Amino acid sequence: MTFLKLRNQELIILVVTVTIFILFSVFLNNFFTTGNLLTLMRSVSILGILSIGMAVVVISKGIDLSLIATLAVGTAAASVLSSPDVMPAFQFPFIYAVILGLIFVVFFCCVTGVLVAYWDMASVFVTLAMAGVIYGSGRTLFIRDELNYLPKDAVWLEFLGRGQFIGIPMPIFCFLGVALLVHLLMTKSTFGKFVYSIGDSGLAARTAGVPVRPILVMIFVLAGIIAYFAGLLTAGAISSINTRMVAGSMIYDVLLVVVVGGIGLSGGKGGMHNVILGTLLIGTLLNGMVIMDISFIVQNLIKGIILLLAIMTDTLLNPRDEQTTQQGDI
């Protein structure tokens, strides 16, 4: 029955997505054009990759509100460390700067994971605070300006961000590639089985011998690495990264994709197919609202209402009980 319920939910999402796409194509003059569809595909890819990272955390019955800070600050740090104009004393080849940015990201994600797993702190509050810590640390240590441009030797990243292969934007291949890798990780590896078991019941997972605490740390590190990759693609698409996006509403778009896509907030349910469905729906909706020139405030209102309705629906379909709210570890 649960399998049929999930399948029916996914079918509804697919039908709604196709319906919205057809309506926008018919009634919006600039929607069904080559330029807009390419723009839609690129933006959907970045949103989808970010949502994959969030999905892994949500499946484990957590949440990560620091993903946008990780995306922006990690990428900006890599850009700054390779720029002769900003930090000439620390000028590295861009590929080395990317590795240093990755180390920066992994360190703070480990801190987040340790606070959640070993200090038993609620992930929503930890990651909300860590978003400020990551942003403040990055701006204090490396980043002088909000807008940071890629160096000249970042040609390979610009190809990934805005290049095409057989007429399809490279970010689409990156999105599908990340989705496939994480799908295999979650369904074919012991780590993935542990993630689902923790999300289903942390106490039962601990009793069964699952090393819950180390796995939780690894989950936040994986989500951070995925967000960092999304940040690199974002910079590659426009040859720059703006840390001001940390204060934007992109995290709500990510949550919309995950929840609307059908990944239960109660944990232990969902997969990459849910992320793909949610990404297509929310990406199409956001693109349509931009074309309709709906104000940013009204867009946030609409997104807030959709997110609230999605959470209410998720609560009805995946009710929490005393057991599912417990956490355990080794």
| Predicted pLDDT of residue 124 | 95
The yes-or-no verdict on residue 89 having pLDDT over 90 is no
Q: How far is it, in rounded angstroms, from Cα 248 to Cα 225?
A: 20
User: Does 85 or 137 have the greater pLDDT score?
Assistant: 137
Assess contact for 49 and 174: CB atoms under 8 A. Answer: yes
Return the DSSP state at 247. G
Q: Give 321's pLDDT tier (boundaries 50, 70, 90).
A: low
The yes-or-no verdict on residue 88 having pLDDT over 80 is no
The yes-or-no verdict on residue 323 having pLDDT over 50 is no
Q: How far is it, in rounded angstroms, from Cα 169 to Cα 184?
A: 24
Q: Give 86's pLDDT tier (boundaries 50, 70, 90).
A: low
Supply the mean pLDDT for the chain. Answer: 89
Q: How far is it, in rounded angstroms, from Cα 192 to Cα 201?
A: 14
Alpha helical stretches, state H, 239-328: 250-261, 272-291, 296-317
pLDDT digits (tens, 9 = 90+) for 36-61: 888 888 889 999 999 999 999 999 99
| Predicted pLDDT of residue 137 | 94
Domains, in order of start, for the chain: 9-317 (1.10.3470)
Coil, strand or helix at 30: coil
Q: How far is it, in rounded angstroms, from Cα 305 to Cα 299?
A: 10
Q: How far is it, in rounded angstroms, from Cα 203 to Cα 211?
A: 11
